[in-house]
């Protein structure tokens, strides 16, 4: 090999040092995961984190060429601590992106902090309508659903089955109230009537008095919203009260997602509506479930899908600006017009940044929520109150 002249070799060495130095100076993108790691929704937070990290791992640990550094806060699904918790990530840790959370009340506070600080926020579960409604903003995105969407789907299915009188039962906070609103809209549009709304404070599981009321009223159908640790208790109590075999039941899919093992026989055969079904037989969903099972020795659920898709959305934005997070407008514009290749099926975002997606009717069989039919095609949340 011919030796390089001394000056050329020196110039090359300087260039290499400069390039290497510049690359080494590009800091990782800081992602703040604000999720419940304790309490009723702990398992949901865990699955969201696993899904998010799985997508990043599949991209070689980088999004848009940037390494990802994680910061974590347990929000305990506690709205009263939400502003402080979000500020731990935004002000103390100086994260670039906030990802969270599960509980609607906590997520609404996160949206306020994100808006005040112009921090990019991706909501990987909480369905509060206002996040992509009255509180919508160019820097706020959701990879999951609005509470209204699966509730509306249940209403359409229940009316389609010819039921006329319904009772609803849920936790009395934004998620439950909005799911009931969606159900009522879908059901009453189809000719049904909601005769009574029953509720108890989150995360209480003393359902007995309310179940006695349902038994006394004998409606044609019961609609419910429960999730996480409270859901299997509800299914067991509904069954033990003799209602599973006497009064038809339908719910937003969270009641059986990730809860079937704990619910035992009381969960079997339960009909729900949601934007995901475990056995969607597409190469995309099959590959995702295989990859998730390999990585975590566990089956994916809807929460894992939403975490995975939150990372995909961020990846699309970062790739559009070649990892240059300072180009925020271009990054957000790319996210807003993205088509996300989700395990649930491809979806795009509404003008208010909420997924426009099919709502499936599912039936719980074994440990899976199996696809039965498309209850509502390409359902968009109304996004009421959004001025963007």
Return residues touching ligand BEZ (CB under 6 A): 102-104, 125-128, 147, 175, 227, 254
Closest to ligand BEZ by CB, 64 or 124? 124
Q: Judge whether 388 and 336 are in contact, CB under 8 Å.
A: no
CA 284 to each of CA 6, 172, 320, 359: distance values in angstroms, whole numbers, following the listed order? 55, 37, 23, 18
The residue (of 147 and 350) whose beta carbon lies closer to ligand BEZ is 147
* Residue closer to ligand BEZ (CB basis): 138 or 229: 229
Residue 362 Cβ, how far from ligand BEZ at the closest point, in Å?
A: 15
Closest separation in Å from C-beta 128 to ligand BEZ = 6
Nearest-CA neighbor of 152 among 276, 306, 273, 277? 273
Shortest distance, CB of residue 180 to ligand BEZ, whole angstroms?
A: 13
CA geometry: angle 192, 249, 129, nearest 5 deg:
70
- Shortest distance (Å) from residue 127 CB to ligand BEZ: 4
Integer Cα distance of 108 and 364 in angstroms:
31
Nearest to 385 by CA among 114, 78, 134: 134
Identity of the residue, 125 or 184, whose beta carbon is nearer to ligand BEZ in the bound complex: 125
Contacts of residue 104, defined as CB under 8 A and 6 or more positions apart, other chains included, come to 126, 127, 128, 147, 173, 174, 175, 178
Q: Choose among 132, 124, 169: nearest CA to 151.
A: 169
Kindly tell me which of 241 and 262 has the beta carbon lying closer to ligand BEZ.
Answer: 262
Nearer to ligand BEZ, 29 or 250 (CB): 250
CA–CA separation, 80 and 62 (whole Å):
34
Q: 198: which 2 tokens?
A: 């029953």
Q: Minimal distance in Å, beta carbon 100 to ligand BEZ?
A: 12
As measured in angstroms, the least distance from the Cβ of 225 to ligand BEZ is 8
Cβ-based nearer residue to ligand BEZ, 247 or 376: 376
Which residues have CB under 8 Å from 24's CB, separation 6+? none
Contact 316, 334 (CB under 8 A): yes
**To the nearest whole angstrom, how small is the minimum distance from the Cβ of residue 173 to ligand BEZ?**
7
């Amino acid at each position: 090999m011919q030796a390089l002249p001394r000056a050329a070799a020196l110039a090359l060495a300087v260039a290499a040092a400069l390039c290497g130095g510049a690359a080494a100076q590009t800091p990782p993108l800081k992602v703040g995961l604000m999720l419940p790691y304790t309490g009723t929704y702990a398992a949901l937070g865990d699955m969201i984190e696993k899904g998010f990290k799985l997508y990043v791992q599949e991209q070689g640990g980088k999004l848009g060429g940037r390494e990802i550094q994680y910061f974590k806060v347990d929000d305990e699904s506690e709205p009263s601590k939400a502003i402080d918790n979000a500020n731990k990530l935004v002000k103390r840790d100086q994260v670039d992106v906030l990802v969270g959370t599960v509980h609607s009340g906590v997520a609404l506070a996160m949206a306020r902090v994100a808006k005040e600080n112009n921090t990019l926020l991706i909501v990987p579960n909480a369905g509060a309508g206002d996040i992509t409604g009255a509180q919508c903003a160019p820097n706020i995105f959701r990879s999951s659903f609005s509470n209204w969407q699966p509730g509306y789907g249940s209403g359409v299915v229940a009316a389609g089955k010819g039921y006329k009188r319904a009772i609803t039962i849920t936790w009395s906070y934004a998620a439950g109230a909005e799911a009931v609103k969606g159900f009522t809209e879908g059901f009453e549009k189809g000719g049904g009537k909601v005769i009574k709304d029953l509720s108890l404070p989150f995360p209480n599981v003393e359902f007995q008095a309310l179940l006695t009321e349902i038994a006394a009223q004998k409606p044609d159908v019961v609609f419910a919203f429960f999730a996480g640790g409270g859901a299997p208790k509800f299914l067991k109590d509904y069954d033990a009260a003799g209602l599973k075999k006497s009064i038809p039941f339908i719910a937003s899919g969270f009641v059986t997602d990730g809860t079937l093992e704990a619910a035992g026989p009381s969960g079997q055969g339960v009909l729900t509506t949601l934007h995901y079904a475990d056995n969607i037989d597409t190469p995309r969903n099959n590959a995702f479930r295989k990859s998730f099972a390999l990585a975590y020795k566990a089956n994916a659920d809807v929460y894992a899908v939403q975490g995975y898709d939150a990372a995909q959305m961020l990846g699309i934005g970062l790739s559009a600006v070649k990892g240059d997070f300072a180009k925020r407008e271009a990054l957000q514009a790319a996210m807003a017009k993205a088509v996300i290749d989700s395990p649930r099926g491809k979806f795009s975002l509404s003008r208010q940044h909420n997924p426009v997606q099919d709502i499936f009717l599912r039936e719980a069989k074994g440990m899976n929520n199996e696809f039965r039919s498309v209850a509502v095609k390409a359902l968009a949340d109304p996004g009421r109150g959004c001025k963007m």
